[in-house]
Amino acid sequence: MNSAAALAGLLLTAFGPVDIDEQALDSPVATTLTLTNHSTQTMQAAFDFGASGWRTAAGRTTGEESLRPRQTVVLPGQGRLTRSLYPLPRVRTTWAGDNQPVETASPLLVRKLGEAQPARARVAVNGILSEECWLLGRRLGRFGSEFGERPCDPSPEWMAAYDATHLYFAVVCEEPRIHALVATGTKHDDPRLARDESVEFFLDCAGKRRDYFHLRVNVDGVVLDERCTLSAGGATTPPVTDRQWESLAKVAVQRGRTHYYMEVALPLKQLGVNPPRMGTVWLLNVARNRRVGDMTEPVRSLWNPSPGGCRNPEAFGALVFK
């Protein structure tokens, strides 16, 4: 078996999940390291956590495992959430079969978990966030810089809700220079939105980490929407995009003195899915692009930062429908 064939026969090392938003910083957390051999031969896996403070429950930061064909090994792991949470630690694994070693890196170590609450009354999309699902919903935050180098402070916060016809998002962005926010895009799918103060949503309903929907909404409520497919080059190259797809999203944005509030209603029929049931899990990421005053380019922060950036579906978080 050559290296390419061995790599194709293996599931990349996977971690999680750890619910970062529910954990206090400086607290110990538990996770699992999963190694899966999808090939038809016995493979040796040598793993290295590559980051201080993260190890297996047995205290190992490195080790070796022998996996039979089709075998999965799950190793309990543990770490600590500190201000150095970003960058997230990544595990490297060397697989050997027929003397052909292949090195892989975990696509994600810590997967964030978000919740979508049922909207028991009609959601009026006006940017005021006065509905019960927003008042009682859990706000998710702790954004980090796009590639995970550092935490974002102050961090945006977001919430999700749903009913039989729509998926709803609410986003709160703190901004001390609220009157200096930059928005140049004025029409649907305007390419200038890429340089505006905006919020982005990346949504993978199938959970296959290949195809996803992308919405960008600027601070004036103008929308760019597209359907994306991971390109042949993977997350390191731009995805294949389909701008013909229309989300038909309804959007409203309200500006306060030090914050702006965004509300989005996305019709489920445009996603091609049935109404989600309790326990359904989709994958997603949320980004804020901050552009204020004389900034020439926006600065992006992500709810779930990734070494692959915002368009890497391997590092999307999970959205659980309650």
Report d(CA 251, CA 249) in Å as an integer: 6
- Taking residues 273-297, report their average pLDDT: 95
| Position with higher pLDDT, 56 vs 96 | 56
- Taking residues 4-25, report their average pLDDT: 56
DSSP 99: T
Domain stop point among 84, 105, 126:
105
Domains in the chain, number: 2
For 70, counting Cβ atoms within 10 Å of its Cβ (0-12 exposed, 13-18 middle, 19+ buried), the class is exposed
* Residue tagged 């750890």 (tokens): 18
Q: Where are the alpha helices (DSSP H) in 80-230?
A: 132-135
pLDDT interval class at 4 (50, 70, 90): very low
CATH number at residue 314: 2.60.40.1190
pLDDT interval class at 9 (50, 70, 90): very low
Q: List the end-to-end C-alpha distance of the chain, in Å, as a whole number.
A: 45
Asked whether the predicted pLDDT for residue 3 surpasses 50, the reply is no
Report d(CA 50, CA 43) in Å as an integer: 21
Domain span including residue 281: 113-321
Residues 49 and 141 grouped into a single domain? no
pLDDT interval class at 30 (50, 70, 90): confident
Domain stop point among 53, 82, 105:
105
Domain stop point among 81, 105, 129:
105
pLDDT interval class at 130 (50, 70, 90): very high
Q: Give the pLDDT of residue 14.
A: 61
Comparing CA positions, the residue from 172, 163, 188 lying closest to residue 267 is: 163
pLDDT interval class at 32 (50, 70, 90): confident
Rounded to the nearest 5°, which phi and psi values hold at 268?
-65, -30
Comparing CA positions, the residue from 221, 214, 178 lying closest to residue 198 is: 221
C-beta separation of 316 from 212 below 8 A: yes
Report d(CA 120, CA 129) in Å as an integer: 14
The per-residue pLDDT for range 190-237, each reduced to its tens digit, is: 999 999 999 999 999 998 888 999 999 999 999 999 999 988 777 668
Residues 186 and 69 grouped into a single domain? no
223: tokens are 């929308």
CATH number at residue 24: 2.60.40.10
Q: Give the other-Cβ count within 10 Å of 12's Cβ.
A: 16
50: tokens are 């590559």
